[in-house]
Structure 1
Amino acid sequence: MDTLNIDLWTCDVGAEAASPQAFANLLKERVLESWSKGADVAVLPEYSWMGLERFVSGEDKLAGVADLFWNEIWPGLKAELSRKDRAVVLGTVPFRTPNGTWRNRAPILCGERELHQDKLCLTPWEKVFEGGEALHVWTLHGVKFAVVICLDIEVPEISVALRGRQVDCVLVPSATESILGVERVGRCASGRAVELCAFVGVSQLVGKAESELVDENVGKLAWHAPSQSAFKHSLRETISPVLLEDGFHCLRGELHAKSLRRARKMLVETNPAHLTPGTILVQDDA
Structure 2
Amino acid sequence: MLSIDLRTFDPGIAAKSPFAYAAAVAECVEASWDEGADVVLLPEFTWMGLEPLVEPRSPRRVAEVFWNELFLTLKSLLNRPGKAVVLGTVPFWDAERGVLLNRAPILLGDRVLHQDKLHLTPWESDFAPGSELRLWEFAGLRFAVVICLDIEIPEISARLRGAGVDVVLVPSATETMLGVERVDRCASARAVELGVVVGVSHLTGTAESGLIDENVGRTAVYFPSQAAFRDEPRWVEGEVISSGTQTQRVVIDPRTFEVMRRMKQETNPSLLAALPAFEVVRE
TM-score range, shorter chain: over 0.9
- Say yes or no: does 1:219 pair with 2:217: yes
Match of 1:14 in 2: 12
1:2-41 correspondence to structure 2 within 5 Å: 3-41=1-39
1:179-198 correspondence to structure 2 within 5 Å: 179-198=177-196
Query: 203, 206, 210: which one pairs with 2:204?
Result: 206
Query: 78, 81, 88: which one pairs with 2:78?
Result: 81
Return the offset for 1:68. 1.4
Measure, in 2, the Cα distance between the counterparts of 1:278 and 1:76.
Answer: 50
**SS in structure 2 at match of 1:116:** strand
Runs (4 or more) in structure 1 with deviation over 6 Å come to none
Contact 2:6 2:41 in 1 (8 A): yes
Measure, in 2, the Cα distance between the counterparts of 1:162 and 1:189.
Answer: 14
The one-letter code sitting in structure 2 at the alignment partner of 1:152 is D
Measure, in 2, the Cα distance between the counterparts of 1:220 and 1:11.
Answer: 10
Measure, in 2, the Cα distance between the counterparts of 1:129 and 1:280.
Answer: 35
Return the offset for 1:38. 0.7
Match of 1:61 in 2: 58
Measure, in 2, the Cα distance between the counterparts of 1:234 and 1:30.
Answer: 27
Contact 2:60 2:100 in 1 (8 A): no
For residues 104-154 of structure 1, what are the alpha-carbon distances to aligned partners after superposition, in whole Å with 9 as ceiling and x for unaligned?
Answer: 000001132100000000011111111111100001111100000000000
The one-letter code sitting in structure 2 at the alignment partner of 1:121 is H
For residues 145-173 of structure 1, what are the alpha-carbon distances to aligned partners after superposition, in whole Å with 9 as ceiling and x for unaligned?
Answer: 00000000000000000000110000000
Contact 1:15 1:207 in 2 (8 A): no
Match of 2:112 in 1: 114
Q: TM-score, normalised by structure 2?
A: 0.97
Instruction: Give % identity.
Output: 53
Measure, in 2, the Cα distance between the counterparts of 1:243 and 1:251.
Answer: 14
Q: TM-score, normalised by structure 1?
A: 0.96
Measure, in 2, the Cα distance between the counterparts of 1:278 and 1:19.
Answer: 56
- My pick for the range that moved more, 10-19 or 146-155, is 10-19
The one-letter code sitting in structure 1 at the alignment partner of 2:34 is S
The one-letter code sitting in structure 2 at the alignment partner of 1:261 is E
- Which sections of structure 2, spanning at least 5 residues, go unmatched? none
**SS in structure 2 at match of 1:165:** coil
Match of 1:254 in 2: 251
Measure, in 1, the Cα distance between the counterparts of 2:276 and 2:101.
Answer: 32
